[in-house]
Amino acid sequence: MSVADYEHYAKRCLDVNAWAYLDGGAADELTLAANRQAYSQLQLEGRVLVDVTGGHTRMELFGQKLAHPMLLAPVAHQGLFHPDGELATVQAAAALETCMVVSTLASHRIEDIAAAALRPLWFQLYMQPDRNHSLALVRRAEAAGYQALVLTVDAPIAGLRNREQRAGFALPEGLRAVNLDGVPTPALALQPGQSAVFDHWMRLAPNWRDVEALRAQTSLPLLIKGITNAHDAGIALELGVDGLVVSNHGGRTLDTMAPSLLCLPAIVQAVQGRVPVLMDGGIRRGSDVFKALALGADAVLLGRSWVYALAAAGALGVSHVLRLLRDELELTMALTGCATLADIGPDRLRR
């Protein structure tokens, strides 16, 4: 009946290894919990006797027509959760008329996912230590017909995922990030007194110069994913990005960060409508989607909510969760007097 039900079935379907990867967060998982709890801090303002006949959830984003404002967020290693992995997810995206964002760390080649797609795809890029490898991934995505590029910037180093560490997480035999075949892992070579964090991993991490270079290297719409600070949003706009995704990486990177929903208004205020602002984090109900839109998001990215369903029921499960959330969004809109997404605003919320 709901995402919560699929969460229950997913846990029964997965081993401890896969469940720790899917359901866990960083450190004490406070941000993971806060992402979900943030929605309960906002109440809905009901409106009655409003004629919403002919209402709908349709929208357009970067020239692409979507049936609703819920996109499928990039999720790595989907083969952990179902044998078909991304090939199941892309079927669901087509069935529910939305866009799937394909991860650099997909279990299938980005070309094979594109060949199975009946709807526009976006490609999520993790910048590689050798920037030539990053550019090669971009060129592959362009050649395969991907219609936007999403650069993730909030995980330059792995978070302290204690739940995964306790489970001894490792990818099962036969499962790997196939799109990085041939990309070497940089050797850890430190001098006495040097830090693995500062002198190795962060030395290899992307910076604003890389964003500027990437903007010049592709004509695809470029979105930056992982923005939680208004100042960073301003720098991104100065460099010519086409969209922002407010995200704390699902609470998987730095614990005790503010929930994405509470970071959203400041970003929207800084952007002033110049580019689309999307967000992700903690969405489990259509009313959660409504609250994000009321705070200024143009659309949302869904993560764990549909991955639970992928684990439990493959493509059919992902499709069903999308349908459930769309139905819940429509119900929320109707009972708050909103016939279209344009009617949703902060006046429909109470704090």
**Residues 155-177: pLDDT tens digits?**
999 899 999 999 999 999 999 99
Sign (positive/negative) of CA torsion 326, 249, 7, 316? Answer: positive
Q: Which pLDDT score is estimated for 75? A: 98
* Active-site residue list: 249
What was the pLDDT predicted at 189?
85
Q: Which residues of the chain have pLDDT under 50?
A: none
For the chain, give percent helix, strand, coil, nearest 5. Answer: 45, 10, 40
Q: Detail the DSSP E strand segments found in 90-182.
A: 100-102, 121-125, 149-152
Query: What average pLDDT does the chain have?
Result: 97
CB atoms within 10 A of CB 219: 9
pTM higher than the cut 0.75: yes
pLDDT of residue 186: 87
Query: Quick one: which of 302, 334, 315 has its CA closest to 100?
Result: 302
Place of tokens 């910048």: 127
Which pLDDT does position 198 carry in this prediction? 94
8 Å CB contact between 70 and 299: yes
Q: Give the tokens for residue 257.
A: 């960060």
